[in-house]
Structure 1
Amino acid sequence: MNSNERDITLPQRSLRLTRRSFVAGAACAMAGLLVGCGSSSEPSKVAEIAPYVSPYDWAGLTRDGDKLEYFEDGELRSRWGIDVSEHQGNDIDWSAVADAGVQFSFARIGNRGATEGALSADEFFYQNAIRACEAGIEVSAYFFSQAVNEDEAREEAEFALANLRETEAAGATFVSVAYDHEPVEIDGARANGLSGDQLTANARVFCEVIAAAGYKPLLYGNQRDLLRLSPELREAYPVWLAEYGAESPTAPFDFVIWQYTNAGSVPGIPTDVDLNLWLEPQ
């Protein structure tokens, strides 16, 4: 990650608002030219090809140390946040985190074991959620899934809800709940070989249970993992993208949160921490 602050010249609004349609139209025109220049036996297939165009103009990104912000027409259209788990320990000074400008946090609810499949709560979920709320930081949550089928995904969602409700009874409030399924580099990891169809089915069940309980579901992952999900599922629920070491995201699909490093530094947190940009386009 480039930690140097850099100045950005922002584009004009009229240009940005038509950016997606302009690029797509240019791609279609180019495809038409290609068809007209030769004697292709399948011209319709060429004409259908169009590149993905992001709804964000990444020229609006600014960096100040580890902090990112996103602007449109000179107006700030993002929030800065972190996600934490027991890996950050129990010494987080949430007041210092808030004073550093952190606006939202995701706390890990728990996980399913990669080999035995047992469910367990994160040791500091309750503490992190309560103290972040007390510091005035908006709190969401995520669950690390290793479900191998829909029944296990449903069990994970119900486990997550039980922990959310217990923490809410102590005064916490939650906005979103993310489904996080990743391959695990452990011998005997039971969920590493899931098909894209099965992974999609698991994620859908988890999100449906979470949504039925009144929370906003999210889908978390890197490009590789998220592209294994069906496009229909990624369109149904907001996406939280993990992509590190990039000047700007390169994923060929829409997302609302960019986790841009797993080695960030924030006052009040004694360890490295994941940093996130929550995008709010007009």
Structure 2
Amino acid sequence: MVLCVTTACGPDFRDPGEVFEVRGVDVSHYQGVIDWEALAKDNHHFSFIKATEGRELRDKAFAANWSSAGQWGFCRGAYHFFRPEVPASIQARHFFDVVELEVGDLPPVLDVEERGRLSPADLVTSVKQWLKMAELHYGVKPILYTGQNFYNRYLAGQFDEYPLWIARYDAEEPVTVCGRDYQFWQYTDEGQLPGVVGDVDRNVFYGTRIDLALLCIPPRSANPVDDLAKFGE
């Protein structure tokens, strides 16, 4: 899909939020009190909401944002900000303690933006551990979030079985070195939207609203087996 029809991306540039059918935001306490009704009326369909970070941080706005997003009909997803210096098993269990997902919610999200002192191989191992634990706990494959450059340098080709949400803040859509598809594109961190004071991250989904619903947690006849002991503490 061509979003910019001139090489300079000048007058003919079209905002991805005007091109794609399914639009959304991601938020944390940094956005303050959000008017979710206004966002819904502005034709936004999904929201990713920060829940946890590292070993023990809980986003102070998560509970309010989570409840309000659900009330106003958003497909909502919760995300954990990954800290490479903290064992993945501890981070996963911290997220599980805070986030209870329901049928119709988006899968859990792991936000990976830094390598810290981990080697590239150890980073991949740690991220895989979090994702596998979350899949076992919630019974659905988690979504991996990262930036285009970070993905291409450290993560490409390692997580093809997981949905991908990728950030690239310019007129061009993300390009992965391995050629894999992605489901979500975070295209700006300077969005201005009704219901949000200040900047907010804006995103689009590659598909229809039906496709988005199919990505969400489906009804199931039994709870997934929560056999996490093998991952240690």
Above 0.5 in TM-score? Answer: yes
Distance 1:96 1:245 in 2: 26
Distance 1:163 1:64 in 2: 38
**Hey, what does 1:103 align to over in structure 2?**
45
Give, in angstroms, the shift of residue 265 of structure 1: 1.2
Q: Deviation digits for residues 151-201 of structure 1, max 9, x if unmatched?
A: x11111111111112xx5xx8963211111223xxxxxxx52322111111
Q: Deviation digits for residues 206-252 of structure 1, max 9, x if unmatched?
A: 11111112243111111222124454432121111100012333333
**Hey, what does 1:160 align to over in structure 2?**
95
**Hey, what does 2:160 align to over in structure 1?**
235
Distance 1:181 1:138 in 2: 22
Distance 1:228 1:60 in 2: 25
Q: Structure 1 residues 93, 66: closer, same or farther in 2, change over 3 A?
A: farther
**Hey, what does 1:139 align to over in structure 2?**
76
* Structure with larger Rg: 1
Q: Which has the higher contact order (CA 8 A, sep 6+)?
A: 2
Question: Which secondary structure does the structure 1 equivalent of 2:77 belong to?
Answer: strand
Sequence identity percentage: 28
**Hey, what does 1:93 align to over in structure 2?**
35
Structure 1 gaps, min length 5: 1-57, 71-77, 113-117, 184-190
- 8 Å Cα contact 1:133/1:172 also seen in 2: no
Q: How does 1:29-178 map to 2 (within 5 A)?
A: 58-59=1-2, 67-70=17-20, 78-89=21-32, 91-112=33-54, 118-148=55-85, 152-165=87-100, 174-178=105-109
Query: TM-score scaled by structure 2?
Result: 0.76
**How many equivalent residue pairs?**
199
Question: Which secondary structure does the structure 1 equivalent of 2:135 belong to?
Answer: helix
Structure 2 gaps, min length 5: 5-11, 212-233
| Greater helix share, structure number | 1
Q: Structure 1 residues 229, 259: closer, same or farther in 2, change over 3 A?
A: same
RMSD of the TM alignment (CA)? 2.5
**Hey, what does 1:179 align to over in structure 2?**
110
Query: TM-score scaled by structure 1?
Result: 0.64
Distance 2:130 2:24 in 1: 24
Q: How does 1:204-219 map to 2 (within 5 A)?
A: 204-213=128-137, 214-219=139-144
Q: Structure 1 residues 64, 134: closer, same or farther in 2, change over 3 A?
A: farther
